[in-house]
Amino acid sequence: MRVVAEIPHPKTKITIFSWNGRYLVKFEYGFLEQTYKVSEMDLTSENDINEIVSEAFVSKVMVRFLEMEKDFGQAINDVV
Protein backbone atom coordinates (compact mmCIF):
# COMPACT_ATOMS: atom_id res chain seq x y z
CA MET A 1 0.00 0.00 0.00
CA ARG A 2 1.40 3.38 -0.91
CA VAL A 3 0.35 6.84 0.15
CA VAL A 4 -0.74 8.83 -2.89
CA ALA A 5 -1.65 12.07 -1.14
CA GLU A 6 -2.77 13.75 2.02
CA ILE A 7 -5.52 16.31 1.63
CA PRO A 8 -5.38 19.05 4.26
CA HIS A 9 -8.56 19.64 6.23
CA PRO A 10 -9.07 21.43 9.57
CA LYS A 11 -11.37 18.79 11.09
CA THR A 12 -10.26 15.41 9.75
CA LYS A 13 -7.13 13.78 8.43
CA ILE A 14 -7.63 12.67 4.82
CA THR A 15 -5.17 10.20 3.30
CA ILE A 16 -5.34 8.67 -0.17
CA PHE A 17 -3.75 5.26 -0.66
CA SER A 18 -3.23 3.08 -3.73
CA TRP A 19 -3.55 -0.66 -3.14
CA ASN A 20 -4.50 -3.70 -5.23
CA GLY A 21 -5.92 -1.70 -8.14
CA ARG A 22 -7.95 0.54 -5.85
CA TYR A 23 -7.73 3.92 -4.27
CA LEU A 24 -8.60 4.05 -0.60
CA VAL A 25 -9.81 7.36 0.78
CA LYS A 26 -9.28 7.25 4.53
CA PHE A 27 -10.74 9.82 6.93
CA GLU A 28 -9.58 9.93 10.56
CA TYR A 29 -11.28 11.79 13.40
CA GLY A 30 -9.99 11.09 16.90
CA PHE A 31 -10.14 7.33 17.42
CA LEU A 32 -12.60 6.81 14.54
CA GLU A 33 -11.93 6.02 10.88
CA GLN A 34 -13.94 5.83 7.67
CA THR A 35 -12.47 4.31 4.53
CA TYR A 36 -13.96 4.44 1.05
CA LYS A 37 -12.65 2.32 -1.81
CA VAL A 38 -12.83 3.08 -5.52
CA SER A 39 -11.42 1.07 -8.39
CA GLU A 40 -8.57 2.72 -10.27
CA MET A 41 -10.45 1.72 -13.44
CA ASP A 42 -13.37 3.99 -12.44
CA LEU A 43 -11.18 7.10 -12.47
CA THR A 44 -9.32 8.80 -15.30
CA SER A 45 -6.52 10.00 -13.00
CA GLU A 46 -5.52 10.50 -9.36
CA ASN A 47 -6.81 14.07 -9.69
CA ASP A 48 -10.38 12.72 -9.84
CA ILE A 49 -10.05 11.86 -6.15
CA ASN A 50 -9.88 15.57 -5.30
CA GLU A 51 -13.26 16.01 -6.97
CA ILE A 52 -14.70 13.08 -5.03
CA VAL A 53 -13.44 14.52 -1.74
CA SER A 54 -15.50 17.68 -2.13
CA GLU A 55 -16.48 19.87 0.81
CA ALA A 56 -20.06 18.58 0.50
CA PHE A 57 -18.85 14.97 0.81
CA VAL A 58 -16.51 15.79 3.71
CA SER A 59 -19.42 17.50 5.52
CA LYS A 60 -21.41 14.27 5.28
CA VAL A 61 -18.39 12.30 6.51
CA MET A 62 -18.15 14.61 9.52
CA VAL A 63 -21.86 14.15 10.35
CA ARG A 64 -21.30 10.39 10.18
CA PHE A 65 -18.31 10.72 12.52
CA LEU A 66 -20.47 12.52 15.09
CA GLU A 67 -23.09 9.77 14.82
CA MET A 68 -20.38 7.10 15.17
CA GLU A 69 -18.94 8.87 18.22
CA LYS A 70 -22.37 9.04 19.86
CA ASP A 71 -23.20 5.39 19.07
CA PHE A 72 -19.83 4.15 20.30
CA GLY A 73 -20.10 6.22 23.48
CA GLN A 74 -23.52 4.71 24.19
CA ALA A 75 -22.19 1.19 23.54
CA ILE A 76 -19.35 1.78 26.01
CA ASN A 77 -21.76 3.17 28.61
CA ASP A 78 -23.96 0.08 28.23
CA VAL A 79 -21.00 -2.13 29.12
CA VAL A 80 -19.48 -0.06 31.93
| Nearest partner of 61 among 19, 33, 80, judged by Cα | 33
Q: What is the pLDDT along the chain (80 residues), one digit of tens a residue?
A: 999 999 999 999 999 999 999 999 999 999 999 999 999 999 988 889 989 999 999 999 999 999 999 999 999 999 88
pLDDT of residue 45: 84
pLDDT of residue 50: 87
Are 50 and 58 in contact, with CB atoms under 8 Å apart? no
pLDDT of residue 62: 98
| Nearest partner of 51 among 32, 38, 62, judged by Cα | 38
Based on the structure, what is the number of domains in the chain?
A: 1
Residue-number span of the structural domain to which 17 is assigned: 2-79
